[in-house]
Copies of this chain bind each other. A is one copy, B any other.
Amino acid sequence: MAIKFYDYAPAPSPRKARIVLAEKGIEHETVPIDMRKGEQLSPEFRKVNPNCTIPALVLEDGTALFDNLGIASWAEAVKPEPSLTGKTATEKGLVMSWVAKCDMHGGIAFMEAYRNSHPKMAGRAIPGKDNYEQIPELAERGFARLAAFLDDLNAHLEGREWIAVEQFSLADIWAFTILDVTPWIKAAPGEQHPNILRWQAAINERPSAKL
């Protein structure tokens, strides 16, 4: 049985796993789940991931991995090269520190802003099986945090090619996939963030980042 990757092309979350699989050249069969049609909430998909989130990766033995961090850790173990988590112990520590930071201050801030403000997300303020109403004040806070993250990241990238270490890593993937959808909420980096724009352009050159 082939490895099955449950994906939805426009969404930032499965794109993280998609880039990881492409960078490592891990063969898989893609199963598209149309989130516009709510297919992630269908009885069929609930059997794959009872929490109804995408991505999910089902391995040859039937084990389901249902989070980007899990999928990336599995991928790094089955196919260590090219390394996406750093080479030395110190590098591994730095990459994962930045993954956590990009998630907390970038990913979650975006999710708070987008899901609590966009009309399409009414009643769906959190991904997953349970429905939560939007909280307008949380959207506002998300926008403020996301703006602060862009400023911090731009300052951090001054004189640096990549976010965490001297090679492309999970930290870059985590931040890039989120920043790439910030135009959805008119919160994209701009000319005041020249280091981010340069870093985004470099990632857009990678075949793995093609949409």
Contact = CB atoms under 8 A, between A and B. Distances in A.
Given A85-B73, A141-B135, A148-B130, A93 B65 contact: yes
Copy total for this chain: 2
Nearest to A127: B104
Nearest to A56: B97
B135 A97 contact: no
A113 interface: no
A4 B71 CA distance: 31
Given A85-B73, A99-B69, A100-B69, A63 B137 contact: no
A48 B66 CA distance: 34
A132 B141 contact: yes
A74 B100 contact: no
Most chain B CB within a 10 A radius of its CB, from A65, A73, A90? A73
**Chain A binding site: helix, strand, loop or mixed by DSSP?**
helix
Given A89-B74, A95-B73, A97-B70, A135 B132 contact: no
A67 interface: yes
Contacts of A69: 96-97, 99-100
Contacts of A193: none
Interface string A156-169: 00000000000000
Contacts of A85: 73
Interface of A: 51, 57, 59, 61, 63, 65-74, 76-78, 85, 88-90, 92-101, 108, 125-126, 130, 132, 135, 137-138, 141, 144-145, 148
26 contacts: A51-B101, A57-B93, A59-B90, A59-B93, A61-B90, A63-B93, A63-B94, A65-B93, A66-B101, A67-B100, A69-B97, A69-B100, A70-B97, A73-B96, A74-B89, A74-B92, A76-B92, A77-B88, A77-B93, A78-B89, A108-B108, A125-B141, A130-B145, A132-B145, A135-B137, A137-B138
